[in-house]
Structure 1
Amino acid sequence: MSTEERPPKRPRNDYGSSDASGPPALQRSTDYWFDDGNIILQVESTQFRLAKSVLAMHSSVFRDMFSLPLPQDEPLVDGCPVVILCGDRSEDWTHLLAAVFPLQLFRTRNPTLDQLSAILRLSKKYDIPLPRSDCVRRLKCEFPTTLAEHDQLDTGWMHIEIPGDLSITQALVHLVNLAREVGLFSILPLLLYDIIIAAEPGENDHDNPNVLHHALRKLSTADEIACLRFHVRLMQPYHQTPLKWIESVPCVECTAAPKCSVKIDLLLGLALNAPNALIHEFLTQWDSHDDWSSKVCEKCLIVAKAVHETARQKFWDRLPSFFELPEWEELRKMDFE
């Protein structure tokens, strides 16, 4: 094609103007447009003017990119080359740059779910290890891989800030999909288990029996099926769960056999009449149930605690397999860090 026949380049939109039928007008980031920057990243309709040296210091992807010579006819904006990042969201880049250019020396607030998600996605795509390692650490603290670490968790979210308009189940589903996307597999077993717990109907949810079904629809088909199968397994006889300690009472050395037997029979009756409630007890520590210790004699208490703790550890060890995942150690090796 000759020069005369070559079609003209698509005209560049001016800042602040927009064709109603065309793409949005380009706009400069209000927070990340530095006058001494020498590269412009364009994400959707937002442009960020940054320093090549800072991007290269944090990201091997940009370091390799900047090592290549620019084409001679490369168009410039304010004397800077423009790199268009397709497939990214400008909001995600704003969250990432807030981590790269912090305004506070010591951060006192946990990152929001959106911030954490954005940083993990982009830090993986562009190989930016520093902010990624902090986000990975937070998720692994929130969803540990050992029972001892799990027992140290407090109630509620400790390392992530969840929006008030998002339910616990919705947040957990979001994190499962994020973990799959960024390759953080070791947090999946506890995440999926917590979805089952959070979606179990409570005292005020009798009119909404499909809580679990609605929660799982946002998961991948494989994770949805695994959760449903696990839920069926959880509705198994109590003696296949950590509550099997009930069978150990009265023990051989029981000093109050009639009394212990009657109280355990009452507890067993309550458990069998409310099978959904059993699910919440599988990983719960013994000391969280003050009423359990008061129902048996000292001899039975020693035996019951030992049976409960052994079964609880066994349940934890098998947790990944319930969701058709590899063992804990293998999951830790699979993590992208």
Structure 2
Amino acid sequence: MVPANPCALPGRSTEFWFSDGSVVLIVENMAFRIHQSILSKHSDVFADLFTVPQPRSDSDSIEGVPVVHLTDNLADFTDVMRALYEPFHFDKLAPDADLATLIQFVSGILRISTKYNILTLREKCIAVLRTKFPSSLSACDRLISSRYKYVASTIVRAIPLARETNVPEILPWAFYISTNIANDTLLEDSVLSWRDKALCLVGKNQLWEMQKSITHKFHFEFSKAPTCQLPCQSRLPQLMSWRRTEELRVSPHPLEQYLDWDSLKVCPRCVEYAQMQHQKGREMVWKTLPSMFQLGSWEDIQKEQNR
């Protein structure tokens, strides 16, 4: 109900107070006079809300327009109104925007569009996030080749956002990148839950084992091609220092594409064999990445996100 005391009346939104608006939505202490038809077109939740008869009194309308109180965050709701009323709102986001900017731009819209089932806005937000959180190995390779640098304090914000808004498809890559955060920094982080911190720590060990024994095994233990007739023996395992091994252990990256094949100093057949094993290993890591963080399979993720 709108307070009867005039001094306690909500302020009017300077952006979204339309003289022909057919409903007043009050969020926190701000009133938005907007159009039921626009909200109903994009949201079946709002459409149902507006069809439910509301009890009438002298204080449940403003300028003769019905009032509906919402319990949402004001900044989030304002962002959604901008996205609904401004056709090119998402074009404001620069193509080269960093992850912090992306998350700040979409988080409010994603929360509200998920809650009220505004599918067009939700899908736009997910499409934006996909540019930094691949859900296929080919997209992962494109992102890796771009040499984009993630910031620890930003990447961890994506995990609770994905859980809150049911966008599990960004979680495998978010966890994967988070395993490169130093353990002390990760444990002291105030954004991640303790469960997600534990998943990062366990996942880090799993990724390191896969890098050492599958995707980049030739760095640690060279295997000749079965068809090789030469005494090939790469010196890479001997050249792998303890320091470099420790660096890889604390910051594993089994999905990284190895390109310096000439450094193996072996015959073409052995190089081809190592390349094949490397790619097959990367495909295996990608396939099992969700399960490392207790997310099921990629198929399970899509079912959960689309339910």
**Counterpart residue number, 1:300:** 270
Residues in 1 aligned to 2:90 and 2:286: alpha-carbon distance in whole angstroms: 36
- Give distance in 2, aligned partners of 1:45 and 1:195: 38
Q: Among all aligned residue pairs of Structure 1 and Structure 2, give the percentage whose two residues are the same amino acid.
A: 30
Q: Which residue of 1 aligns with 2:303?
A: 333
Matched, 1:213 2:187: yes
Query: Which runs of 5 or more residues in structure 1 are unaligned?
Result: 1-8, 19-24, 158-166, 201-208
TM-score, scaled to structure 1: 0.78
Give, in whole Å, the separation in 1 of the partners of 2:225 and 2:242. Answer: 19
Contact 1:182–1:336 (Cα < 8 Å) also in 2: no
- Quote how far apart the aligned CAs of 1:117 are: 0.8
Equivalent residue for 2:97? none
Distance in 2, matches of 1:68 and 1:301, equals: 69
Q: Counterpart of 1:286 in structure 2: which amino acid?
A: Y
Distance 1:84 1:57 in 2: 20
What is the CA–CA distance in structure 1 between the aligned matches of 2:35 and 2:3, rounded to whole Å?
28
Q: 2:252 aligns with which of 261, 279, 298?
A: 279
Deviation at 1:191, TM superposition (A): 0.8
State the secondary structure of the residue aligned to 2:32: strand
**CA distance 1:190–1:322, change in 2 (3 Å):** same
Matched, 1:156 2:158: no
Which stretches in structure 2 are left out of the alignment for 5+ residues? 95-100
Aligned partner of 1:145 in structure 2 is 135
Contact 1:254 1:299 in 2 (8 A): no
Counterpart check, 1:11 vs 2:1: no
* 8 Å CA contact 2:102, 2:129 repeated in 1: no
| Greater helix proportion | 2
Give the deviation of 1:55 after TM superposition: 1.3
Is residue 31 of structure 2 the alignment partner of residue 44 of structure 1? no
Residue-by-residue CA offset, 1:198-255 (whole Å, 9 max, x unaligned)? x14xxxxxxxx6223224x422232222112222334548642411134334545265
Query: Once structures 1 and 2 are overlaid, which stretch shifts more, 297-306 or 172-181?
Result: 297-306
Shift of 1:256: 6.5
Contact persistence 1:139–1:187 (CA under 8 A): yes
Q: 2:215 aligns with which of 208, 224, 242?
A: 242
Larger Rg: 1
The equivalent residue for 2:152 is 169
Q: What's the CA shift for 1:309?
A: 1.0
- TM-superposed CA distance for 1:333, in Å, is 0.9
TM-score calculated relative to the size of structure 2:
0.84
Q: Say whether residues 1:185 and 2:158 are aligned partners.
A: no
Question: What residue number does 1:311 align with?
Answer: 281
- Is the Cα–Cα contact under 8 Å of residues 43 and 89 in structure 1 kept in the other structure? yes
Matched, 1:124 2:114: yes
Shift in Å, 1:123 = 0.8
Once the two structures are TM-superposed, the CA of residue 176 in structure 1 deviates from its matched residue by 0.7
Deviation at 1:36, TM superposition (A): 1.4
Residue equivalent to 1:321: 291
- Partners of 2:29 and 2:171 lie apart in 1 by 35
Tell me the SS of whatever aligns to 1:83: strand
What letter corresponds to residue 174 of structure 1 in structure 2?
R
SS in 2 for 1:228: helix
Q: Which amino acid aligns with 1:261?
A: S
CA–CA separation in structure 2 for the residues paired with 1:223 and 1:80 = 46
2:74 maps to what in 1? 90
CA distance in 2, matches of 1:263, 1:232: 23
CA–CA separation in structure 2 for the residues paired with 1:13 and 1:114? 35
Distance 1:317 1:52, change over 3 A: same
Counterpart Cα distance in 2 of 1:322 and 1:273: 21
